[in-house]
Amino acid sequence: MIREIKINYDACLRCGECVKSCVFSVLEFLDEQPVVVNPKKCSGCMECVRRCPSNAIAVSEK
Ligand code: SF4
Ligand code: SF4
pLDDT of residue 19: 98
Confidence grade of residue 1 (pLDDT, cut at 50, 70, 90)? confident
Instruction: Identify which ligand lies nearest to the alpha carbon of 59.
Output: 1
What confidence score (pLDDT) does residue 2 get? Answer: 83
For the Cβ of 42 lying below 6 angstroms from any atom of ligand 2, the answer is: no
Residue ID of nearest Cα to ligand 2 atom 8? 12
Number of structural domains found in the chain:
1
Tens digit of each residue's pLDDT (9 = 90 or more) over 2-56: 899 999 999 999 999 999 999 999 999 999 999 999 999 999 999 999 999 999 9
Query: Which among 41, 46, 16 has a CA at the least distance from the CA of 26?
Result: 41
- End-to-end CA gap in the chain: 8
Q: In which domain, by residue range, is 27 found?
A: 3-61
The SS3 call for residue 53 is coil
Q: Look up the CATH number of the domain holding residue 56.
A: 3.30.70.20
Report pLDDT for 62.
Answer: 77
> Is there an atom of ligand 2 within 6 Å of 14 CB?
yes
Please report, as a single letter, which amino acid is at residue 13. L
Question: What is the H or E stretch that residue 3 is in?
Answer: strand 3-7
Distance between CA atoms of 50 and 36, rounded to whole angstroms? 17
